[in-house]
Structure 1
Amino acid sequence: MEQVQRVSLADQAARLLLERIRAGEWQIGAKLPGETTLGPQLGVGRSTVREAIRQLAGRGVLQTRQGAGVFVTALDVGDDWDVVLRQADIAAVIEGRIAIETEAAALAAQRRTATDLRAMRRALTQRVAEGQSTEEYVDADMVLHRAVVAAAHNDVLLELFDGFVPRVRQAMIDMLDLQPVSTSCDSDASGDDQEAHAELVRAITDREPVVAAQLSRAHLTSLKAALA
């Protein structure tokens, strides 16, 4: 059985444990042997085993249950969220936004405050400000979408949305730089697209969650089509 040879001992021990999990030695839900067993197998002390377990727990592979032991919760380390988004096709990113923003719009219609509505209306006005660069226009658009998600008062949805912003922002800028302003679904701010956003804000204002969700989905679905 392979043992740790070099520093960092904890990193090496974590790598070896992960390799054994990947190889199928333990399945999801299985309990790992104790530190006194794993230490000799890996050629390290108990404190190093504990640190290796902490590393893998932090990466979602293991879970320590007080009084019960250490259990396998995943068979491999997932990619970091930002790596996943960088590698994802932009259409897949928009599909993620549909899932997040459709639910957020419905919740916003139920939970919005007067402060939330003011933020949405300011952002709606900013989308049609004259003399904006492409980057400024896209940023103003994202501010409005974020204001809707923020009005849902769900920290998880907001954090997920914020994770999407850099990927979507650059795609939007690239698209608008390549197309005439009037042809993009999210760029004709003085016409139909601005009205679509205004309708979403009105639905949230009027506490119409079903309508708000439908409007959000329709807008983002057309955005996905335009980015294809």
Structure 2
Amino acid sequence: MTAIRRTSLADQAAELLLARIQSGEWPIGTKLPGETTLAPMFDVGRSTMREAIRQLAGRGILLTRQGSGVFVEALDEARTEWDRVLQRVHITAVLEARLAIEGEAAVLAATRRTPTDLDTMRSSLDMRNTARGDAVDLVNADMAFHRSIVVASHNEILLGLFDSMAPRLREAMIDMLRIAGSFGDDADHDTHTDVVEAIAAHDAHRAHTLTRAHLLELSESMDPST
């Protein structure tokens, strides 16, 4: 009887955790808090929380990286042809798609952003700046920053496309930074700052131009043929 009850609690915790992931609290590619932090949030014990995480990992929602933690891998269990395409294509194709998505998102964000959107962008930018000493931390902060711009576009399709590509981008960018051995210089930070200021000033043309130039440079740096 006790084992059945424990399984039921784990099931409930898994569904509650999934609901909060799907609400956007932990976007795709982000690291979850540790089980000691999560357990009190769901009013369960650590062993129950561990089982809930294991369940979601088995369903493809979460991914456990040895020595790094647990990361959000997907928002649902569906493994569509789109998912397979993202894994199959070269990273430059993903970056080209990102160029289209984020370029348009920057334009819309400059037009539609709210004061709250702008606060989130600036907070994400600060977090990105403080994460420059570690490849994984920088990529996580960078993805959160770029996502904040897409959120500010107030276009759910663009946000869905961005989120679907995030895990593929995250892995490739971490590998690239580790190979390069440098994790974000001042010029890189200044470029991101300029994008935020263009959006703050409602300058859609400048926001688009800066975003496009930045992502083209990133695409070239990740292309082994260049």
TM range (shorter): 0.5 to 0.7
Q: 1:188 aligns with which of 174, 184, 190?
A: 184
Higher helix share: 2
Question: What is the rounded CA distance, in whole Å, between the counterparts of 2:166 and 2:201 in structure 1?
Answer: 27
1:13 aligned partner? none
Q: Residue 221 of structure 1 corresponds to which residue in structure 2?
A: 216
Counterpart among 199, 204, 219 of residue 209 in structure 1:
204
- Paired residue type of 1:198: T
Residue-pair matches, total? 144
Q: Structure 2 CA distance, aligned partners of 1:170 and 1:130?
A: 17
SS of the aligned residue for 1:216 comes to helix
Structure 1 unaligned blocks of 5 or more: 1-78, 182-186
Aligned counterpart, 1:156: 157
Which ranges of 4 or more aligned residues in structure 1 deviate by more than 6 Å?
Answer: none
Offset of 1:210 from its aligned partner? 0.7
Indicate whether 1:88 and 2:89 are aligned: yes
For 1:131 and 1:206, the matched residues in 2 are separated by 27
What CA distance in whole angstroms lies between the structure 1 residues aligned with 2:134 and 2:198?
A: 29
Alignment of 1:118-129 (within 5 A): 118-129=119-130
Residue 110 (structure 1) aligns with = 111
> Superposed, which structure 2 residues align to 1:29-40 within 5 Å?
none
Q: How many Å separate the matches in 2 of 1:141 and 1:101?
A: 13
Structure 1 pair 194–222 and aligned structure 2 pair: CA distance change class (3 A): same
Structure 1 residue 130 displacement after superposition = 5.3
Q: Please report the TM-score for the alignment, with normalisation by the length of structure 2.
A: 0.62
Question: One-letter code of the match for 2:211?
Answer: S
- RMSD of aligned alpha carbons: 1.2
Partner of 2:147: 146
CA deviation after TM superposition for structure 1 residue 219, in Å: 0.4
State the distance in 2 between where 1:124 and 1:138 align: 12
- What percent of counterpart residues are identical? 44
**Closer, same or farther: CA 155–180 of 1 in aligned 2, 3 Å:** same
Tell me the TM-score normalized by structure 1: 0.61
Q: Deviations over 1:69-106 (max 9, x none)?
A: xxxxxxxxxx6111110001000000000000000000
* Structure 1 residue identity aligned to 2:199: I
Query: What displacement does 1:128 show?
Result: 1.6
**Paired amino acid for 1:125:** D
